[in-house]
C-alpha cells in the first residue's frame, strides 16, 4: 500500500505517514491500532523484530535502562537514523551506491585493526 493510500485511509497526508516511517513523529497506541486495522495485520506485527532486551525488565529500568539498551544497539541510535535519512536524500543512484560501497569498505578496514 502506498503512503498516500495509507494516509487517505487514516485521514492523514502522505507527508505525515513519511514522518511516522522515518521516526520524526511518534505513533500513539490508538493510531498504531488504526494502522494495523487498515493494513489488516495484527498489532504485534509492528513488534516482531523488537529485541527481547528492549522488553525485559520493562518499567523497572526506566529511562536510564532504555538509554543503556540504545547504547548497545547501533540501530536504535539517533546517529544511525540521521545517517540513513541523509543516505536516502542522495538522489543519484550511482552516487548513493558508491557511498554505500565506501562505507562498507571503511567498516571492513577499520574492523581489521
pLDDT digits (tens, 9 = 90+) for 57-94: 555 555 555 556 556 677 777 788 888 888 888 999 89
Q: What is the mean pLDDT of residues 11-17?
A: 91
Phi, psi of 9 (to 5 degrees): -65, -30
The better pLDDT of the pair 60, 3 is held by: 3
Q: What is the mean pLDDT of residues 51-55?
A: 60
* Domains in the chain with CATH codes: 1-48 (1.10.260.40), 66-113 (no CATH)
| pTM (two decimals) | 0.45
Query: Which residue is associated with the grid cell 509492528?
Result: 46
Taking the C-alpha atoms of residue 20 and residue 110, their distance in angstroms, rounded to an integer, is 34
- Average pLDDT along the chain: 80
Amino acid at each position: 500500500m502506498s503512503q498516500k493510500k495509507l494516509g487517505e485511509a487514516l485521514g492523514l497526508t502522505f507527508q505525515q505517514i513519511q514522518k511516522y516511517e522515518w521516526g520524526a513523529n511518534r505513533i500513539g497506541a490508538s493510531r498504531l491500532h488504526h494502522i494495523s486495522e487498515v493494513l489488516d495485520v495484527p498489532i504485534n506485527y509492528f513488534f516482531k523484530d523488537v529485541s527481547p532486551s528492549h522488553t525485559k525488565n520493562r518499567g523497572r529500568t526506566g529511562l536510564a535502562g532504555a538509554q543503556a539498551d540504545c547504547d548497545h544497539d547501533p540501530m536504535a541510535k539517533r546517529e544511525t537514523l540521521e545517517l540513513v535519512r541523509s543516505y536516502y536524500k542522495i538522489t543519484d543512484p550511482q552516487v548513493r551506491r558508491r557511498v554505500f560501497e565506501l562505507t562498507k569498505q571503511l567498516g571492513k578496514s577499520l574492523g581489521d585493526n
